[in-house]
Structure 1
Amino acid sequence: MNPPNAQSFLEPQSRVQVDLSRFGKNVRTLKGLIPNETRFCAVVKANAYGHGGIQCAKTALENGSHFLAVARISEAVAMRDAGITAPILLLGESLPEQVSFLTAHDIRASVADIHGAKTLSAAAQALNTTLKIHIKLDTGMGRLGFLHPTAITQKAGDSAGIFQAGGLAGLKGLEVEGVYTHFAKADVIDKTHANGQLARFNEMVAMLADMGIRPQIRHAANSAAVLELPEAHFDMVRPGVAMYGMAPSDEVDITRHKLTPIMSITAKIIYVKIVPENFTVSYGCTHVTKAPTVIATVPIGYADGYSRLLSNKGQMLVKGKKAPIMGRVTMDFTMIDVGHIPGVKPGDDVTILGAQSNERITADDIAGLTGTINYEVTTGLTGRMPVSHV
């Protein structure tokens, strides 16, 4: 008797699949919207918005991306460990003790205040090295970055230092390669706020030039600005969500550019049972059947990142038909009503995100039901479901 195949016991009952060919096509489409001389920086932070950071980074580079951007140094370390050699911009905070790694591995640090700049400068000088940096300007996002002088108060402190005589320009050990900002409201039809940020950015870049700081790379455009604000393309663009085939908001139309989603989530039904009328389902008994029906149990729950807010609201696809969620989503399982779908049995395929036959469930659909955005739907997936790339 042959021993059982151990791998078969490990085969997951729910999984995430990412179509890298579609991803590459999306990258090429976005590149086609910018001038040839404009660099392309693929934002692959947060595990490429849940799609697999290493694989998406490599695919972006294969399809013409020049830079990568991440939010945490651990993400940059993973890229380098995977053999990726392209320039990486670290969008988050950089610490003095990280300078040796940053310089050795061609990772650019973001500098958002004069104190941080001084500590990085001191660390670089102590190592007798030069750290490439990108200056972050806060033109209206309110998160990170130097403020425009007109927004500075007496309590602004480090936010004012960049525009003081001998500020950043006098710091040794730092090479200012880039300057950038981030739009807070480019993903709406009314571009008033975005245009205001753009004007402030141009003013601040001119002020830096007056101080002798003239970075070779100016960048501001996120996905929405790449699609709808060509005057923000500058020397480099930084698309994120649009590369993954998702719209920055419901006010930005990506379909006219034929950007398509690249993620699907599927599972196998593990249990089916016929139940009578007035049968209660799941914790709290929040669902009571109105007639005899069939319950199918699907091995996905909020521990996988499938939101509990989908309880009694969400749907899944079985045999090309929509099956509503019955009761509360639990930690490991979700129950769906398949009484209207003939012949459902354990082992049948369920599509949780993606297309099946002529029906589709999108990240936007799920986001609409849970009161969030498509970004959170994909980035919120946990490591319990393996990600496969095709």
Structure 2
Amino acid sequence: MTAQIELRNIDKYYGSFHALKGVRLTIEKGTFVALVGPSGCGKSTLLRSIAGLETITSGDIAIAGQNMTGVPPRRRDVAMVFQSYALYPHMTVEENLTYSLRLHGVGKAEARLKAGEVAATIGLSQLLGRYPRQLSGGQRQRVAMGRAIIRNPKAFLFDEPLSNLDAALRVQMRKEIRALHDRLGATSVYVTHDQIEAMTMADWVVVMRDGVIEQQGRPLDLYDKPVNRFVAGFIGSPAMNFLPATVTPDGQGLTLDGYGADRIPLASPAAPGQAVIAGMRPEHLRMAQGPASFHLEVGTIESTGSATYLASADGALQLVQSERADLRPGDRVGLEIDPARIHLFDPETSARI
């Protein structure tokens, strides 16, 4: 594969604040990459640095093999789709779509032809004469994407484009954005704080914290083998349970601190007697059919009809059941887990063991 975007040791300071810390990232041509992390982690700053909207303090940015460090945004040949749509309210859909072409001297007839082609691609052919105020939120976001598509850029940059939409429309639009990416054979970089968006849309997920890339990889690789407790807790919904535990003297099992638990087998040996943090995803815990590994005293019960969410009274332990559960707060439930589903983390460094 050919590298379409290369970030080499990117540092960004705002005064004394170190927003990006030696970021290195290669984005291959034709891939959909999601930058994900909590607010303030640096993901939007990184995206804006690629676009040229932020001036990096040090490092190099290459796009399609050309060094773009210091090159103004208009000459980077990338298209940005913003959370706020950023449409011109006094222009029709067609005029919004063709604005950038007209700025670059494209003739009126050719611009209209391209606008018609793009509108057909994004399902807006009947709305070319309308103004943004006459459109729904989803339609406005389609116009914003169409304005990016019409330029045929080297990369599409999405800055939390679905944050202003309701839940049902977000699900629909993320499918449309991914389908559009595939049809165009585009290179897309997508910033979101929603790990579900990242997991369902992207080929490659980059998890950031405090200006550093904590882990990057295919979505299911991050889910199955998080490198540390932060990534483990960020990827997955509901979040992973983290329980203090001690490896048994033979190194073949665990006992959970404070749960009076029996020995829980481990899939592979660990250091005998070592104190660890045991990570268990709520969806991997199940109600025991026989002897239980440990127990949960039910604190809260939430049912969506298709699933039941249970949490302990102290909120430290959650599990998800795919069936309805006839339980009440205060009930004691026996739990078990496949040993291969247990993740171990170092209590001091938070790194995966």
Normalising by structure 2, report the TM-score: 0.30
Which structure shows the bigger proportion of residues in helix conformation?
Answer: 1
Which structure shows the bigger proportion of residues in strand conformation?
Answer: 2
